[in-house]
Amino acid sequence: MVAEVIVDVAHSDVDKIFDYVCDETVVAGMRVAVPFGKSAATGFVMRVKERSDFPEEKLKRVFRKEDDFPAVNAECLALAEKIAARYRCPKALALRLFLPAEMRTGKTSERYRSFARLSDQPFELSARAKAQSALAEYLRENGETDAAVLREKFGGALKALTDKKIVVLEKKRILRDPYRGVEGERTERALTLAQRAAVSRVDETDKTVTLVHGVTGSGKTEIYLTLIAERLAQGKTAIFLVPEISLTPQMLSQLRARFGEKVAILHSGLSAGERFDEWCRLREGSARIAVGARSAVFAPVENVGLIVIDEEHDGSYASETAPRYHTFDIALLRAQHNGCKLVLGSATPAVETYRRAKEGEFELITLKERINRRPMPDVEIVDMRREVRRGNPSAFSAPLREKLDRCLAEKNQAILFLNRRGYSQTVICRDCGYVAKCEHCDVSLTYHSEDDCLKCHYCGARYHPLSACPECGGTHLGYVGTGTQKVAGELKKLYPSARILRMDNDTTNGKEGHLKIIRQFADREADILVGTQMVAKGHDFPSVTLVGILDADMSLHFPDYRSGERTFQLVTQVAGRSGRAEEKGEVVLQTYDPENYILRFAAKYDYEGFYAHEIAMRSATAFPPFAKIVRVMITGEDEKEALEALREVYTKLQKIYAEETDKFLFFNKMHAPVKRIQNKYRYQVLMRLTDGSPLRRIYDVCAESKFKNALVYVEENPSNLS
């Protein structure tokens, strides 16, 4: 037999099939060790065939199988080929997505344990050998038993009996169970009418994709779990994707309570060994529901009956390393291959997703009410310019102070949210709320201290830094930011007896860092939680009745065409943390731009209004989904070589531009806004296309451009243009 092998060296020079002679136990999807060049390499068997086009005596032999099972199933092999073609990456790189990292490093720490049982051989023990008799009796009664347990109970008797061949030992693989002890209680709930209707709609529609657009607390999770249980009953498997941050202890125990060992949960809190074992359980079929962040879309399950992407708008679904895939695209391929449904859920769908649903490509289910008709919290918009004028320069407005006083007096909890993303880079006038924007792109400018200028990340335009506000002449211009630490400090002074917790990148070190803080807050060990983005998502704190958004503007002015969308999502998510239980919640939204339409719509929970406005603007300014932003990045440690690479790539891209000019709204080469990161110089060719049709050729150019000391890659609609 002959195996067609892709060698696992992520270098496109070797990105082709090599034939190796193998025996008939080698099957497609297996990993094998093969001779390669002067040494050995691991490879993936893509196919097995009777004979090669090359004379067999010229072929080398497979050394050995790396595993005795196919690590990549047939569906995933085909999927890997599609991914490699779509993103023009080496096949080996695409195949790696399907394996737990531990397997590739070759250090899989499978855990084995010895088990003892009686052999078939008849035996008689002397009456004096009491321990041995007792042990034999124990095994007769209990059957096969962990040898360690027996050693503990019966000491040396075990060795004595194995020496006499009365007892045989056998090594068995142990799968680590990371969730021992996380046995939540199963709460049986009858679905509400709206939930039931949603479940039926997903089942009955002939569309592959359904978008469940439901306000926070409308019971979407219960809909997913019901659908998953249905598929399980049909003997199928399911994939349930959530942002990493939503994999809270509550969520894990809920899943375990409902599905027991049928669920495998892949999250970053697991050790490499645990992840590997969860992966094995899925591959072997003993677990049939894969739950996890974006990489769980590559779970080794077969006969998939449902894929769910919860919080589908979340930025974490786009991969930031090669291949730069979007989880939705992979999920759709898998759904199509398996002939199953793909369900997207969100309280604030991505504008692009919502458009596809509105236009009929996806089934659209809308849930307008929270479970038990619990009201959404009231949102008060506070004008911070007025606070400045009244001589209050602090981070807390008078209305927020008042509400905070009351909240604490009533022994409830409060969350203060600080939106630090891009904070100190955007220039804002604290007198009138003016924000410096690009004249050509209507995107806010970013201050770069290294060359003391304001830059537009979308067209590269540069502006002088401002000394006074062009709108009102005011001089209270600021890049000034307030960090969580500063806020917590100020709070401490205002409320000396309040217990304050802080959650941000500084305080959540370690795998479980943020979980620890969440637990503390949920256990009411603190009265006020001050935090960044991390506090926004999914957590259920019943005693929280007040949420303060200290600086709603800051994500609004992030230099990203999606900043409006992101802000709407963030405000909705944060507001959703308030008033989850009996007491009605309140939200204070502080801003220098109180008339801003996005904040206005968010304060009223008016997604439709927001969408209508946003989509009209995207259409008018030709931004996605009405255009495609493509960035070709060139990075390298040597400035000259990187620059040469840029010139070469640019020249090739120019040819495409010349031939398809009508497809280009923008085309230029430049320094990346941040010129150097981690010692690598960064250049870019930035393009805005009317549609994706030239993409194929752009990818081809980049795949074919190889440089010794420069890296070239393509980004589609990147969310970060720094």
Q: Using omega within 30 degrees of 0 as the cis cutoff, is the peptide bond preceding 625 cis?
A: yes
Question: What are the backbone dihedrals phi and psi of residue 702, each rounded to the nearest 5 degrees, phi first?
Answer: -70, -35
Query: Which has the closest alpha carbon to 487: 511, 503, 465, 464?
Result: 503
Half-sphere exposure for 436 (CA within 13 Å, toward CB): 26
Q: Is 36 helix (H, G, I), strand (E, B) or coil?
A: strand
Q: Binders of ligand ADP among 52-111, rule CB under 6 A?
A: none
| Nearest CB to ligand ADP, comparing residues 254 and 508 | 254
Positive or negative, the Cα torsion across 220, 224, 225, 227?
A: positive
Nearer to Zn ion by Cβ, of 441 and 556: the residue is: 441
In whole angstroms, what is the distance from residue 383 CA to residue 553 CA? 11
Among 59, 168, 408, 461, binds Zn ion (CB under 5 A): 461
Vertex 115 angle, CA 111 and 120, to 5°: 150
- Residue 216's binding partner among ligand ADP, Zn ion, none (Cβ under 5 to 8 angstroms by kind) is ligand ADP
CB of 580 to ligand ADP, least distance (A): 7
3-state helix, strand, coil in the chain (%, to 5): 35, 25, 40
In the complex, minimum distance from the CB of residue 470 to Zn ion, in angstroms, rounded to a whole number: 17
Among 171, 440, 584, 655, binds Zn ion (CB under 5 A): 440
Closest separation between CB of residue 191 and ligand ADP, Å? Answer: 5
Binding mask 222-261 for ligand ADP (x = CB under 6 A): x---------------------------------------
Distance in Å, CB of 443 to Zn ion, minimum: 6
Work out whether 456 is an interface residue with Zn ion (CB under 5 A). yes
First to last CA, the chain: 52
Count each helix (H run) and each strand (E run) in the chain, helices first.
22, 31
Q: Is 437 in the site for ligand ADP (CB under 6 A)?
A: no
- Candidates 111-119, 214-222, 301-309, 385-393: pick the segment binding ligand ADP (CB under 6 A): 214-222
Q: Where are the beta strands (DSSP E) in 384-469?
A: 413-417, 428-429, 446-448, 453-455, 462-463
**Shortest separation between residue 225's beta carbon and ligand ADP, angstroms:** 9
Q: Which is nearer to Zn ion, 621 or 709 (CB)?
A: 621
Name which of Zn ion, ligand ADP, none residue 456 binds, using a CB cut-off of 5 to 8 Å depending on partner kind.
Answer: Zn ion
Is 562 in contact with 625 (CB distance < 8 Å)? no
- 178, 300, 576 from 109: Cα distances, Å: 15, 19, 42
Q: Are 435 and 428 in contact (CB under 8 A)?
A: yes
Phi, psi of 56 (to 5 degrees): -60, -30
Does position 687 interact with Zn ion (CB under 5 A)? The reply is no
Q: Is 304 in the site for Zn ion (CB under 5 A)?
A: no
Q: Are 345 and 308 in contact (CB under 8 A)?
A: yes
How many residues make contact with ligand ADP (CB under 6 A)?
13
Amino acid present at 299: A
Supply the DSSP string of 603-635, one letter for each residue: HTT-HHHHHHHHHHHHHHHT-TTSSEEEEEEEE
Per-residue string for binding with ligand ADP, 334-373, x by CB under 6 A?
-------------------------------------x--
Answer with the entry of Zn ion, ligand ADP, none that 461 interacts with (C-beta below 5 to 8 A by kind): Zn ion
Question: Which does residue 191 touch among Zn ion, ligand ADP, none (CB within 5 to 8 A, set by kind)?
Answer: ligand ADP
| Cα-based distances in Å from 553 to 123, 194, 352, 427 | 82, 35, 23, 11
Rule CB under 6 A: which of 154-193 touch ligand ADP? 189, 191-192
218 binds ligand ADP (CB under 6 A): yes
User: Within positions 268 to 327, which residues make up the interface with ligand ADP, using CB under 6 A?
Assistant: none
* CB contact at 8 A, 435 and 399: no
- For position 219 contacting ligand ADP by CB under 6 A, the verdict is yes
Residue of 103, 400, 438, 702 that binds Zn ion (CB under 5 A): 438
Q: Decide: is 342 part of the binding site for Zn ion (CB under 5 A).
A: no
**Nearest distance, CB of residue 589 and ligand ADP, angstroms:** 20
Q: Which is nearer to ligand ADP, 59 or 191 (CB)?
A: 191
For ligand ADP, the closer CB: 524 or 613:
524
| Count of CA atoms in the C-beta half-sphere (13 A) of 632 | 29
Q: Per CB under 5 A, does 459 bind Zn ion?
A: yes
Residue with smaller CB distance to Zn ion, 5 or 456: 456
What's the CA gap between 21 and 32, in Å, rounded?
Answer: 12
User: To the nearest whole angstrom, how small is the minimum distance from the Cβ of residue 457 to Zn ion?
Assistant: 8
Stretch that binds ligand ADP, among 44-52, 210-218, 245-253, 446-454 (CB under 6 A): 210-218
Q: Which stretch binds Zn ion (CB under 5 A): 1-9, 12-20, 451-459, 554-562?
A: 451-459
Q: How many CB atoms lie within 10 A of CB 560?
A: 21
C-beta closer to Zn ion: residue 517 or 721 = 721
Residue from 221, 446, 484, 684 that binds ligand ADP (CB under 6 A)?
221
In the complex, minimum distance from the CB of residue 669 to Zn ion, in angstroms, rounded to a whole number: 15
CA 606, CA 598: separation in Å to the nearest integer? 9
Among 29, 90, 217, 433, binds ligand ADP (CB under 6 A): 217
Choose the contact partner of 670 out of Zn ion, ligand ADP, none; CB within 5 to 8 A by kind: none
CA-CA distance, 405 to 466, in Å (whole number)? 39
- In contact, 430 and 477? CB cutoff 8 Å: yes
Taking Cα atoms as reference points, which of 151, 161, 163, 229 lies closest to residue 195? 229
Q: Does residue 591 touch ligand ADP according to CB under 6 A?
A: no
Q: What is the dihedral of CA 558, 560, 561, 563, to 10 degrees?
A: -40
Site for ligand ADP in 465-494 (CB under 6 A): none
User: Binder to ligand ADP among 42, 132, 195, 635 (CB under 6 A)?
Assistant: 195
Q: How far apart are CA 649 and CA 697, in angstroms?
A: 12
Q: Name the one range near ligand ADP by CB under 6 A: 2-10, 21-29, 218-226, 664-672.
A: 218-226
Binding-site member from 251, 441, 571, 656 for Zn ion (CB under 5 A) = 441
Closest residue (Cβ) to ligand ADP? 221
> Nearer Cβ to ligand ADP, position 119 or 192?
192
Site of interaction with ligand ADP (CB under 6 A): 189, 191-192, 195, 214, 216-222, 371
